Chains A and B, each alone.
Chain A
Amino acid sequence: MGYKNIIYEKKDGVGYITLNRPDKLNAINDVLLEELDAAFAAAEPDLEVKVVVVKGAGQAFSVGQDLSGVETSEVLPDPRKPVSRKKQLEAERRRNRRWEYIFNLAKPTIAQVHGYCLGFGCNLAMVCDITIASEDALFGDPSIRMGLLSDMPLWIWLVGIKKTRELLYSGRYITATEAEQFALINKAVPKDKLESEVLKLAKGISLLPGDGLANCKDGINSVMEARGLGEAWRFTNEMQLVMQQHSRETGEFDFFEVREKKGLKAAIEERDAPFKGFP
């Protein structure tokens, strides 16, 4: 398959998926999402690939969902567009399955993160098994500032309930060093060491038996299922859907309105401006 918004390569037992919309800081639109699914599906049965590395081209890992409204009906449905309940539910199930599929891919996955890692981008880094980031990376999910919810239940297990609340209630970003402290990621490394660190890790893992790795991952993930993650995917998605559909009250910030009137940049600026006080 020819890819447009990602690059998929294989080298020495390692598969590389590179998000490739550098001019948009790898904002995830419908096409990118579809190609991401396809690349993971290609890597999973491929015996030449022992471990998958996910990274971003250009200045960032990914700023998250493409908020432009162009070819984004899957990643960011416009709440003002009437869609049948059935269609909404179907879309939610798809989202749900997508993160679960990557989380349960029968191979180890490593997220190599630099620059912004927000929203969907952060979700992607979270569902990967291991996350290594450069010290300049910023993590967060500003969904709440647009009246939306995160659809990622892993927050609570990774950083604990208090930190999850702090981060998702405020939508604030944290540095890679903080993220390491909170166990959101495995390790923060200097920017010039990021690639070599990830390569070392991936090479080391690629020497291991693939069957064993699949089993090992299944063992760990099944413990997470027992800890409630299975139900949590569903609950989180349903809440996300409810929030997505709520109508904005008069005077309440409406991202979609502002975007239509003043453009994307202005809408994001207006979204974040009131919160500049956060570190």
Chain B
Amino acid sequence: MKYENVLLEIEGKIATITLNRPEKLNAINDAMLREFEAALDEVRRDPDSLVLVIRGAGNAFSVGQDLSGVGTGEVMPPNPRSKAYLSDMLVGAMRNNFRWQSIFELHKWTIAQVHGYCFAAGLDLAMSCRAIVATEDAVFGDPSIRMALSSPNPLWTYRVGLKKTKELLFTGKYIDGKEAEKIGLVMKAVPAAKLEDEVNLTAETFAKSAGIGGFDQEVLVWATNMAKLDLGGLAAARRLAANVHVLSAIQRPGRSIIDRGEFNFYDIRDEKGLNAAIEARDAPFREYFPQPQPRRS
């Protein structure tokens, strides 16, 4: 398959998928999802690659869902004023969760190589990898709540604990790579110049350890871990988080916060454009939650 929105390279035991919409800071739209799924499938079926690295081209890993409203029927909940079918939204949310699950359960080592912004769906993707290696100035966060949405990602409490999950998701605030490492979201945060070396070293180490005693054994260990996690509630958590996300997305006209005169992302976007809508979304919170910025090289 020919890809545009992602790049796939397989070199020896290490496969790399690069999110490739650098001019949009790798915002995830429906086309990128389709290509990502196809590329993931190629990696899955390639018996020689033992490690998958996922990274972003240009200045960021990914800013998350493409909020432009163009080609985003699946990644972005529809404007609550449009009369979306609940069944469509539920199917969309489940597909979304199956997608992250298929990365989470991939029988190969997965590493997210994160620099720049890593928000919302971009962070869900990174969190679904077994390890995140990031630059110290990378910026993590999920601002969904600022658009009145709950996160469909059930991995939060497993990754950073209950208290931190609530702090981050109730505020939508952003944290840098160093803090992400401190709270356990990121396996390792390194200076920007060292990111690639660190990821390569990690990938090669994993490839080597997967070779000891045979890759199949490694796969079995992973399958056992998956079973434990599912027994520990993850299987049900995926469904519950998706359902509640849909609940948050169907704010029916006449019964929603939007009609009580609160912030409506969709209206501002249609009137003043995407950047203005994102600015209007985040500006009121900078006073309360300082927003780290990645250094520009």
Contacts and interface: CB of A to CB of B under 8 A. Distances in A.
Interface of A: 108, 129-131, 154, 157-158, 183-186, 200-201, 203-205, 207-213, 215-220, 222-228
Given A186-B164, A222-B244, A209 B171 contact: no
A212 B240 contact: no
A208 B150 contact: no
B167 A186 contact: yes
A212 B148 contact: yes
B170 A209 contact: no
Given A157-B162, A217-B166, A223-B241, A209 B288 contact: no
Contact of A213 (B165, B170, B287): B170
27 contacts: A129-B166, A130-B170, A158-B162, A186-B163, A200-B289, A201-B288, A204-B285, A207-B288, A208-B148, A211-B248, A211-B256, A212-B148, A216-B144, A216-B149, A216-B170, A216-B248, A217-B166, A218-B244, A220-B150, A220-B156, A220-B157, A220-B162, A223-B156, A224-B162, A226-B235, A226-B240, A228-B233
Nearest to A210: B257
Interface of B: 144-152, 154, 156-157, 160-167, 169-173, 183, 232-237, 240-241, 244-245, 247-248, 251, 256-257, 262-263, 284-285, 287-289
Given A108-B170, A130-B170, A212-B248, A223 B237 contact: yes
Contacts of B163: 129-131, 158, 183-186
Nearest to A184: B163
Contacts of A209: 145, 148, 257, 262-263
Contacts of B144: 216
B170 A129 contact: yes
Contact of A205 (B170, B241, B256): B170
Contacts of A186: 163-164, 167
A215 B247 contact: yes
Nearest to A157: B162
A206 B288 CA distance: 11
Contact of B150 (A201, A216, A225): A216
Nearest to A202: B288
A215 B150 contact: yes
A211 B148 contact: yes
Nearest to A181: B182
A224 B233 CA distance: 8
B162 A219 contact: no
Contact of A223 (B154, B172, B248, B262): B154
B119 to A, nearest CB: 16
A201 to B, nearest CB: 7
Contacts of B149: 212, 215-216
B194 to A, nearest CB: 26
A204 B240 contact: no
Contacts of B162: 154, 157-158, 220, 224
A94 to B, nearest CB: 24
Contacts of A211: 148, 248, 251, 256-257
A32 to B, nearest CB: 24
Nearest to B161: A183
Given A130-B166, A207-B285, A222 B237 contact: yes
B288 A200 contact: yes
B233 A223 contact: yes
Nearest to B155: A223
Contacts of B245: 219
Contacts of A157: 157, 161-162
Contacts of A210: 257
Contacts of A207: 284-285, 288
A247 B288 CA distance: 53
A204 B144 CA distance: 15
A201 B173 CA distance: 10
B233 A108 contact: no
Contact of A220 (B147, B148, B165, B284): B165
Given A203-B288, A211-B257, A216-B145, A226 B171 contact: no
A268 to B, nearest CB: 29
Nearest to B239: A226
B157 A224 contact: yes
A180 to B, nearest CB: 10
Contacts of A226: 154, 233-237, 240
A154 B163 CA distance: 11
